[in-house]
Structure 1
Amino acid sequence: MRIGITCYPTYGGSGALATELGIALAARGHEVHFITYRQPFRLPSFLPRVWFHEVDVGRYPLFEYPPYDLALAVRMHEVVRDHQLDILHCHYAIPHATSAWIARAMLREEGRDVKVVTTLHGTDITIVGQERSFHTITKFSIEKSHAVTAVSQYLRDETYRAFGCVGCNVEVIPNFVDPTLYDRTRHTFPIPADVIRGRKVLMHISNFRPVKRVRDVVATFARVQEQVPSVLVMVGDGPERVEAEDEARQRGVADNVMFLGKIDAIAPLLAGADCFLLMSDKESFGLSALEAMASGVPVIGYDAGGLPEVVQHGVTGFLHAVGDVEGAAASAIALLSDASAWQRVSTAAAEDARTRFSEQAIVAQYEDLYERTLATADTSPLRTPPFVPAILPSHLPSIAAP
């Protein structure tokens, strides 16, 4: 199959999943074309059967904000036309699925066609899509897709609740991990031993948006650090980083918190972690938590959104009510203070990630979805009816060119 993938190329779970999916599909013999405004952050410079097509967002004084969605639609149209793509797989409903619908309408005017698959990742449904100004177009874009998936049952149910979407069937296909990449025995922890000094390593990886509650991450660490000598490694960047740094200063733990910024290769970092903190209040899935589990790192987080579908409380980690920093810290302290308990949870986390969320099984689900989508007949005509201008009433002035 020839598959076009559009995602946000920036740091975050949706872009990571979309890129890893494309790489895995290419390894299985499919032709994959990434269509976005920047090369995805996890995409190497070259891979067999993988192409990157940059969206050119032009600059024109008339536009205060260049219309990326229209530029994306044009680029999608060009790539489908020039490379005979079978599928446009859009990660996030808006603007990606919206642009795909426009591109498809343009293609159908030329007697061509393409199928559109949309994967919902979270904020396109739970936050952005429910804004009044975006609600209608989000619902439209979902219902006009030939197939729709969500990364968790929570997100599927939230989609039905928020949008109704009577014209679509949302399938749940979760995120996945490459078990070989996230094998902690294959990596050397990149932070020098003289920096860690034998202390436990707690870690958080995110795009530092408000939903991640990074102040709670730092507050949890501060309580753990009082009883267990430890350091907190914060990976990523975003609007709430300043808040996290301020929380560390206020709690007097700034010297024990390391902000590393955006890092593409996180497997070596996870290989040296003892505990992973994810305190989101609306986590649609929690890809970073899954990657931590695959690395044998127990997860401490909040019992919210789709995270309970990833982390099994008391088995592969511990989940607490949103805002329960004391409970989260108590679980981390108990775990880090008992070597046998930590080893038990670490082993269970790695095994569970490899069993339920293996790359081979999940990518096969996407392949099956593509095949079923392509096999579904579309009975609507390829071309729209010709435009017939209305006859102007005689009392209106002529609009003919002078």
Structure 2
Amino acid sequence: MRDPGYDKPQNDGPPAPAPNNTPDQERTLEGEHILALLASSHLFGSERANIEAMRALREQGAQVTFLTHGTFGADHIEPYLEASGFNWHRAAFGYLWTRHMLGKHFKYFIRNLYGVVATSLTLRRLIPALGITALHIPNLQNFSYVAPIARWLGMPIVMRAGDELPAHTPIHRWLVRRAVWSATLFVAVSNYIRDTLIENGVPPENVQVIYNHPPQRNLPAGSHTCDEAAQVEDSTWMLSFIGQLSPAKGAIEAIEAVSLLKEAGYRVTLKIAGSAEWGSTYGQNLSQIVQDLDLAREVEFLGFIENVPGLLAASHLHLCPSTWNDPHPNVIPEAKKSGTPSIVFPRGGMPELIHHRVDGSVCGNATSYALFTEISWWLGQPEVLKAACIAARRDYEARFNYERFMTQWHGIYAHIRNTHT
């Protein structure tokens, strides 16, 4: 058995700059009224990231109104917006576009066509009524419901690209061309996404990169507190995995890495925070894998928690082994803010968020053994890991702090205001 051998440093490095709640005259966006589309049913990373961008703009004087899904927005999105002090209106929108809509799901294709017409009419009504000066569109799915009239609205459109633009069906390829033609600026969440946008025909001068800032989290009654989420024995290394429980997020690889660590003699515990996709049995499958590997004492499922910062702060290492081309997981800068190094797979935009073996690790490949290799490298060098905790916090201050985030988003809308006629 190997002992952690040190207490994780707390609050090392300079404190995070306070949000600029009273923007100065040189950086005000007063007079701007942004209509942000958010036709989602749940609060995942993309939704939180877009809300954080709007929060930063609001704190600099802009007025922000959201347009939510009239059918699916009431359960999760609208309560969060209300708790955050945002106004919203509803529009019809529709369902995800799939190739099956031209076959066995043709009724959903008809419903989506209705959603395009109805949402476009809602937009035409709200823009003059509210005095909207710019549209903020979070992804191609949202854009699809205003695509026919986007170019003719007579106002700037900011497309935030949190994922690669989908081009797997003819309708998606048409939407990509339409978005490139209609959008004033694209904001990519990573250099990886910036490169994919340029490959899809977006002029390089029309793309800016803004890394995500850790989302503001509410702590409702009944959520896990830091103590509840992170109790481990003093001689145990604590690892955390935070995210949606789906095959692409790599929870299986994290569990298998813990099994390898146990075989190698390390005393570890893995706290998994997150819930499965609706209607999915993936969470049950993970529980069965834990039983099959005899890891009931080492792996704990916490379910959905809001106090992610508390869990990260109590962890020695954070695992983010996404097996798909994950553009920019919000939890990586959130871990840095807590002073916790992240170990990631070499996929998507994740490697550019990590300084390898300085404030985290990029695995050699996307396998559980590669993840085990990097974890054991850190656990075998407690003093190096301690220094990495400090380096992670400093990297948050250098690249992901809130003041920088606010300044970058201000630059986007100030540029639009100064150049759009």
- TM-score normalised by length of structure 1: 0.79
Which of 277, 286, 298 is matched with 2:319 structurally?
277
Q: Does 1:84 align with 2:128?
A: no
User: Structure 1 residues 362-371 or 304-313, which shifts more?
Assistant: 362-371
Q: Distance in 1 between matches of 2:108 and 2:216?
A: 45
Give the aligned partner of residue 6 of structure 1.
37
| Gap regions ≥5 residues in structure 2 | 1-31, 96-105, 219-223
Following superposition of structure 1 onto structure 2, how do residues 167-186 of structure 1 map, counting pairs within 5 Å? 169-177=206-214
User: Structure 1 residues 324-333 or 276-285, which shifts more?
Assistant: 324-333
Give the aligned partner of residue 22 of structure 1.
54
Give the aligned partner of residue 258 of structure 2.
221
Kept in 2, the 8 Å contact 1:143–1:168? The answer is no
Q: Distance in 2 between matches of 1:117 and 1:148?
A: 6
CA deviation digits over 1:150-200, x for unaligned, max 9?
111111112223x2335972222221237999xxxxx9614267x533333
How far did residue 348 of structure 1 move? 0.4
Distance 1:142 1:80, change over 3 A: same
Following superposition of structure 1 onto structure 2, how do residues 215-364 of structure 1 map, counting pairs within 5 Å? 215-226=252-263, 227-236=265-274, 237-238=276-277, 239=280, 240-281=282-323, 282-364=325-407
Indicate the SS of the match to 1:296.
coil
Distance 1:246 1:29, change over 3 A: same
CA deviation digits over 1:99-150, x for unaligned, max 9?
34445467x4xxxx3321001111x52xx33445422212322331111111
Q: Distance in 1 between matches of 2:229 and 2:306?
A: 19
Q: Does 1:115 align with 2:165?
A: no
User: How many residue pairs were aligned?
Assistant: 360
Q: Distance in 2 between matches of 1:33 and 1:319?
A: 39
CA deviation digits over 1:23-62, x for unaligned, max 9?
22222222111222225389353445x2122334699xx9
Kept in 2, the 8 Å contact 1:11–1:41? The answer is no
Q: Distance in 2 between matches of 1:202 and 1:71?
A: 48
Kept in 1, the 8 Å contact 2:272–2:302? The answer is yes
Q: Distance in 1 between matches of 2:310 and 2:125?
A: 39
Which of 124, 137, 142 is matched with 1:96 structurally?
142
Distance 1:167 1:271, change over 3 A: closer
One-letter code aligned to 1:191: E
Distance 1:241 1:47, change over 3 A: closer
Q: Distance in 1 between matches of 2:178 and 2:87?
A: 29
Kept in 1, the 8 Å contact 2:326–2:348? The answer is yes
Give the aligned partner of residue 205 of structure 1.
242
Q: Distance in 2 between matches of 1:209 and 1:260?
A: 15
How far did residue 223 of structure 1 move? 1.8
One-letter code aligned to 1:222: S
How far did residue 235 of structure 1 move? 1.9
| Gap regions ≥5 residues in structure 1 | 182-186, 379-402
Indicate the SS of the match to 1:191.
helix
Kept in 2, the 8 Å contact 1:151–1:172? The answer is yes
CA deviation digits over 1:337-357, x for unaligned, max 9?
443222111110011012111
Indicate the SS of the match to 1:25.
helix
Which of 16, 36, 45 is matched with 2:68 structurally?
36
Kept in 2, the 8 Å contact 1:2–1:87? The answer is yes
One-letter code aligned to 1:355: A
Kept in 2, the 8 Å contact 1:11–1:262? The answer is no
One-letter code aligned to 2:158: V
Kept in 2, the 8 Å contact 1:286–1:310? The answer is no
Q: Distance in 1 between matches of 2:370 and 2:391?
A: 22
User: Identity of paired residues, percent?
Assistant: 20
Distance 1:58 1:317, change over 3 A: closer
Question: Quick check: which has more Rg, 1 or 2?
Answer: 1
How far did residue 242 of structure 1 move? 4.1
Return the structure number with greater relative CO, CA threshold 8 A, min gap 6. 2
Give the aligned partner of residue 196 of structure 2.
158
Indicate the SS of the match to 1:28.
coil
